[in-house]
Every structure is written in structure tokens, then in C-alpha cells.
Structure 1
């Protein structure tokens, strides 16, 4: 016999969620409790659900106790400096070479030598392809500094296919080497590089070398100069060697007492560009061999380039006018020749260069150039960078100099207007004067955008130099080292000549 009480629905082990929230007794009937049914409420059942404690439920809340602040007042003068131990080691070496050794004596410790990471080299991605030349023409030439000029690109193409001489073949091999390196095909890039150099050597060894073949030699070796800057983030020794070869060949080719026009002028300006850039690198590379120093001191190429009827128009290969470029070249020449002079560069010579830079005019030929405002801003950045470097390396101006601060503010304003800046030399000079977070953020943002548009090797190399200079400048609170000493320390981390293109 079954009794009525045995027919009652089964009960759950705990009350429903509705009764729990109401904090009333639950009859625990399934599937819905009678208390909820009789009161007309929705029974939320007996299943498992996620729940969080109420705000004031201290019994169930797992809240960490609020942190008590230290009574020790923070030092408002304290600043964080983003440096590596190698930066401290580098600054210590500078102090050790100066007459004042107070800092070195006060810090009685020796930093261990830090092994650098191996040089970055692109890995093989694809095999050699038949369209290397087309790839160079459509892709590579547009992103190479000093080559992204239609006149220069057309000149190179014309020289390749005008005849089948060894000099023309050397240019073709150089182009294939650049295209292969840009595609990260290192094996074939090196093969084409050796073929290009061999072709130049064979052509130059002939008993009679035509004027056009000499120009082809210069173009092929200039392409090799660009190749070395792409091959590694760290500069390679061949960069400086190739520039010296090109410079010496140009000195023999270009007379200083006559005017050069047409294709001859285009090649001359291209060689002149690398000549001036390398003077700066030789000046601040502690390990520069004597042969490189003697090569950099030669002034005949500047004299040959001065024979121009138009010094105010912006030259696309240079990024500024010949007037500004001549002044920067003269400044480099003055500083190079006074490296071993205890009295420093002659003030009257520096004043003359300063006047040339200060009142230099730069105009743009609208029919030849695009991106008008960008071109004008880059040219102005060159002029301001020349003045900043003159004040810092020539006059030994400190950061407190009113003239230097005015130049820095003007240059910083130019940087804010630029979308990209592939000219690494003026960018480096101006960026070294950035001391506020806003100024440095502007520089880093510009570098990031530029890296996405142009070959990353060159801009990344200069990015490292900039950050290392900032580190030394932040560490040297008392300004016990000079501007030139810091530049030399930063640019001498390797044994090869630093590349700025």
C-alpha cells in the first residue's frame, strides 16, 4: 500500500535562488518551490550559477586592503633615464680620456665588456628571379635616398642599355645586387656585388677609357655604396672604401676650373653627396684609418661642384640647394683639418660659414619636383642642421646657448610638419638636441613612419645612434663632456665607418 505522504514531490538539498535572495524559508520542492508559486514570483531554481558578493558584503568579499602610502616624500627632482649599462661604460670611457677624472674617481667600479649581438643580415626568402631589373626600377629605386629622383633614375637606365661595355654591365650587376638585397636574397646579392666590382675593374684597366665609361664606373660604385648601407644595420667597411674610390676617380675626372652640366653634373652631385656625408662620419669615427682621413680632407670635389650657374635651386640628389651643401662641405673641411689642432677651428672661418648658412636661399623648380612643401621642409632641415652642428661642434656651444635653443626650436617645428624624413644626417643632428619628452616623441614618431616607407636599414641605424646619444646626454648631468666627444663615442661603437645616406 502506498500512502499519500509518499507521493509528495522530491525535495532538493538546498533552497531556490529566489528564496535565498528574499532571505525566507524555502520548501525545496522540485521543479519549483511552493513559496514562489503561491506568491506569484519566478522561481530561479536550484542550479549552479555565478554570483558576486554585494558591495558591502565584507563576509564574502575578497578585497585586498587598500595600500597605505609611504610617509616619505617623493623627490620631485628625480628622473628616470632610459639607458643601458653599455651607455654608462661608454660615458666612463669619455671621462677617462678627459683632463677631469672626478667622476671616474668618485665611481670606483669597472663595467665589464658587453658582447654585442651579431650583425643583422637578411635571410634568404626567395630564389633569384628574372625580373630583378624590373623590381629595382619599380620598387627599389623609389625608396633609395639620393636615387629617388626621376632624372637620376633615367640616367642610370640609359647608361645600362646604351652599349654592351663592361662599364654598362657593371651597372646592371649593381642593380641586380641592390634588388636581390632588397628582396633579402643575400646569396645572389653578394654574387652580383662581386660581379659588379669585377666588371668595373676590367673596364678601368683598359688602355683607353672613355668619358662615358668613367661616369658609368662612378654610377656603378655609387650603387655599391648604397648596397653596403642596405646589407646590414651596422655599417660595413666597404662603405667607406667605395666612397674613397668614387671620390678619387671623380677628382681625376672633374676639372675644378670648368662648368659641368647635363649627365656629368648629375653624377658629380651624387658623388658630392656621399663625399660630404662621409666627412662627418670620418670626423667622429674614432677608428678611422689614416687613409680615410686623408681622403676626406681632399677638397677638390667641392671646388669642382662650385662651378655652377644655379646655387639656389634645390637639387633632388642632395635634398637642399648647392649653396647650403657647399657651406656644409666647407664646415666639415674646417673641422676635419682642425682635429689635431689644440686651438680648434679658426673663428673667422666658422663665422663665414655661419653667414652663408644663415642667409642661404633655397627655391624649388615646380616643374621638376613633386611634394612641394615636403621638399622645402627637408631643404630647410638641412640648413638648420648645418647651423646646429656649426654651433655645437664648431663654437662648442652648450645647451644653454640662446642661439642654439632658437635653432633647435625652428628645427623641431620643421620635424612636426614632416610626414617622413629619409635624410638621416639632418635628422640625426636635430634629434640629438631633443631633450623634452614631446620633442623626443616627435622624433620617434617620425622615425617609425619613415621606416614603413623607406628601406628600414638606414633609418634603424640612425635610430640607434640617436637613442645612444640621448642616453649619454641624460647621464652627463653636469655636462662634463663636449658635444663632439659624445658624438664620437656613439659613432665609434663599431670599427666600420658609420653610414648616413
Structure 2
């Protein structure tokens, strides 16, 4: 099968929901045809598996997935440092293949993502800084890492591998004090700084019966995160054109991400009730921001904001954006969230009193065979 050029390949939309997903897909294609070594072949077979899956040629897709897994397993045993990025790419592609088959596959995306993280931890140090192609791959992995951490945090039946995965060292392409962390990264939908703060917020979410919940140290951690999230200013890259429809979309989605992260912090980490003034204010801001969007191809902020809908008007606004988003990205996580949001609303409507957010998140996320993917 001829792998499509980035300019029109639908696989680019499976790999990343970003309008700049072609940049990532173009890099992955180049890596897969770099040579005839096993790391290149693993990526090539994985891209082919995604392509055949998109064409609903399931048996052929599984055949290429199997070839990719075999090439990856063999390559890991003798990998050279120069081949690690290719191996990470292949493992991530297989991981994405599984997220699109979460209802039927006997495997789990966490198997492949654990493998990706093992390779990442072998070849990176905590304060490393990456640029260019390496930064693109590292940022892509970090985005999935944070979204998986969120899903696993609210998954009721966690296994040892999932707990280990959620607690592993995070790897970012930019060091802590780099000004580049405030720049909106197209494949993330927000800045690295926002995504890192979300990662820390997820770690600060304790169950109400946890002995550390709302302890002095916990409240200090939450207050610090709240200040940083509320004061964060995300900006576009200096090389990006300003005041274009794409740039406006990018900054609006990044702002929705920030507001969703604040909502999640207030409700889940700080334990604010749904009628708290601080919660009502940020929910209002989130729906104002949502109404400036025709679509949003980022499932996570839509999920968090949707669960805080306070009126039928809010729900209609969310369904409008969801519908347009599905037209652009009809497979995988967006289709999944499109089912999860009405499910959550049904559970809220069935209860006379407000549903505790811990209960609601756990109930909706844990209905699936494996932890759902919010990428």
C-alpha cells in the first residue's frame, strides 16, 4: 500500500488533532522511510496499520500491526542511541492504533505507552532541552502522558502497570524556566507550561477520604497551582502569522484548556462545591470561550467543561461544538467523548441532588473496557 503524502493523508488526523498534525505525520513518514532497519520498518508497518484501519480493512490492518510489533520487539533488544526516536515513534503509533480499537482489541494502549516511556527514560535526562524534530516527538509523547495520567487517575480498577505508568517521570522538551514553555504548541492545543500545570494538578487530586486531603501541605500545593494557572499567559510563536482564523482558533482553544484546568483544580483538587462563586465564575468564562469556537478537536477540555454545564443552553452550546468537532475528527477519542458527555448528563439528571464530581468522573470513565483516551 502506498502511504499517503501528509498534504492529504487521513492518518495525519489520527496521529494528531492539530491543524499542524501534518508536520508530525510528515516527520513520522520520513522516519519510517529513513532506511530498512527494524526501527524504520516498525514505524512503516504501524502507519500502514492505521491506514488500512481507516479504510475499514481490519484484517489487513491487524496483519501490519503484528508486523510492527514484531519489528519493534526485535529492535528494542539491539537498539542504538540514534534509533531511539524511531522506536518511540513506532511505539506511539501502535499505541494510537490501540486507542482507536479500545472496544474490541485484546491489547491495551497502556502496553505500548509503557514501552514508549521506558525508551524515553533511557535516552533523556530531567533537564534536557530539545528542539526541532526531537522536540516534536517529545512533546507528542508528553501530551499523551498527561491525558493518560488523567484517565488512570479516575479509573476505578487500576492495575499495577497503570499505577506505575501514571507515576513515572515526565519528560518535556523545554527546561523549567524556558520562556518557550508559554508558547502554544500546535500538536498540544496549549502551551507546555499549561500541560505541565495540568499534570501537577492531576497529582494534587486526592480522594476525599485520603488522610492528606486538604491537609496544610495539600492546600498549599493547590493554592500555588491555582495562582499559576490563573496568571498563565499563553502566546503564539513569533514565527506564526497573527490575526488569521487559524491563529484565533489556536489561542481560543488554548484558553479553553486553561479554564478547564482551573475548573478541574477547583472541583477535584480543592474540593469547591458546584455553587462556589469561584467555580461559577470560571464555568461562565469557559462557556463564553466555547461560544467563540465553531469546533474544538481537543476532547479533554470539552469533557471537563461539559460536566459543569449548568443549563440547557450550556448543553446546547456544547453539543453544537461537539457536532462540528466530530465532523472534523470522527474517530477515536472525540467519538468516545461524544458518548461520554451525554452519559454524564443522564447520570446528573437522574439524581435529585448534585452528583459528587469524584463519583461522576469515576463512573463515566470506568464504564469502558480499558481506561479511555482523551487525546
Give the TM-score of the pair, scaled to structure 2: 0.91
Partner secondary structure for residue 168 of structure 1: helix
Partner of 2:108: 238
Instruction: State which of 445, 469, 485 in structure 1 corresponds to 2:359.
Output: 485
Q: 1:236: how far off?
A: 7.0
Structure 2 CA distance for partners of 1:273 and 1:236, relative to 1, 3 Å:
farther
Q: Is the 8 A contact 1:173 1:196 kept in 2?
A: yes
For the residues of structure 1 that align with 2:112 and 2:177, how far apart are their CA atoms?
A: 25
Runs of 5+ consecutive residues of structure 1 not aligned to the other structure: 1-129
* Post-superposition offset of 1:232: 4.8
2:200 to 330, 333, 343: 330
Partner of 1:310: 180
Which residue of the partner structure matches residue 476 of structure 1? 351
Closer, same or farther: CA 159–267 of 1 in aligned 2, 3 Å:
same
Question: Quick one: which of 323, 329, 333 aligns to 1:458?
Answer: 333
- 2:227 maps to 1:358: no
Q: Residue 31 of structure 2: which of 135, 149, 159 is its match?
A: 159
Give the corresponding residue for 1:71.
none
- Aligned to 1:139, the other structure's residue is in SS state coil
Q: How does 1:183-332 map to 2 (within 5 A)?
A: 183-206=55-78, 209-232=79-102, 238-301=108-171, 306=176, 308-332=178-202
Q: 2:43 aligns with which of 144, 161, 171?
A: 171
Shift of 1:153: 2.4
Q: Is the 1:235–1:497 contact (alpha carbons within 8 Å) kept by the matching residues of 2? A: no
The structure whose residues are more often helix, as a share, is: 2
Q: Distance in 2 between matches of 1:281 and 1:431?
A: 16
Q: What is the RMSD computed on CA atoms of the aligned residues?
A: 2.3
Q: Note if contact 1:177-1:193 (Cα within 8 Å) is conserved in structure 2.
A: yes
Cα shift readout 1:58-87 (whole Å, capped 9, x = no counterpart): xxxxxxxxxxxxxxxxxxxxxxxxxxxxxx
Query: Could you give the per-residue CA deviations for residues 322-364 of structure 1, whole angstroms, max 9, x where no partner exists?
Result: 111111011112226x787333150110111111111111111
Structure 1 residues 17-32: aligned runs within 5 Å? none
Q: Please give the alpha-carbon distance, in whole angstroms, between the structure 1 residues aligned to 2:110 and 2:102.
A: 14
**Separation in 1 of the partners of 2:199 and 2:186?**
17
Change (3 A) 1:361 1:374: same
Q: Tell me the distance in 2 between the aligned counterparts of 1:308 and 1:401.
A: 35
Residue 498 of structure 1 is matched in structure 2 by 372
CA distance in 1, matches of 2:118, 2:249: 34
How far apart, in 2, do the equivalents of 1:137 and 1:171 lie?
19
**Cα distance in structure 2, aligned partners of 1:488 and 1:304:** 33
Q: What is the alpha-carbon distance in structure 2 between the residues aligned to residue 363 and residue 279 of structure 1? A: 25
Q: What is the CA deviation profile of residues 451-473 of structure 1, one whole-angstrom value per residue up to 9, with x for unaligned ones?
A: 11113332221122111211222
Distance 1:332 1:253 in 2: 26
Distance 1:426 1:234, change over 3 A: farther
- Cα drift, residue 141 of structure 1: 3.6
* Conserved 8 A contact 1:255-1:304: no
Distance in 1 of aligned mates of 2:160 and 2:209:
13
Q: Partners in 2 of 1:195 and 1:486 — Cα distance? A: 40
**1:182 maps to what in 2?**
54
1:386 alignment counterpart? 261
Q: Structure 1 residue 164: deviation in Å?
A: 1.4
Whether the aligned pair in 2 keeps the contact of 1:388 and 1:429 (CA below 8 Å) is yes
Q: List alignment gaps of at least 5 residues for structure 2.
A: none
Structure 1 stretches of at least 4 aligned residues deviating more than 3 Å after TM superposition:
232-237, 302-309, 366-370
Q: d(CA) in 2 for partners of 1:185 and 1:136?
A: 21
Judge conservation of contact 1:174–1:220 (CA < 8 Å) in 2.
yes
The number of equivalent residue pairs is: 367
**Which deviations, in whole Å up to 9, do the C-alpha atoms of 1:145-195 show, x marking residues without a partner?**
356434322321221222211101111111101111111111111111111
Rounded to whole Å, the distance in 1 between the matches of 2:91 and 2:208 is 29
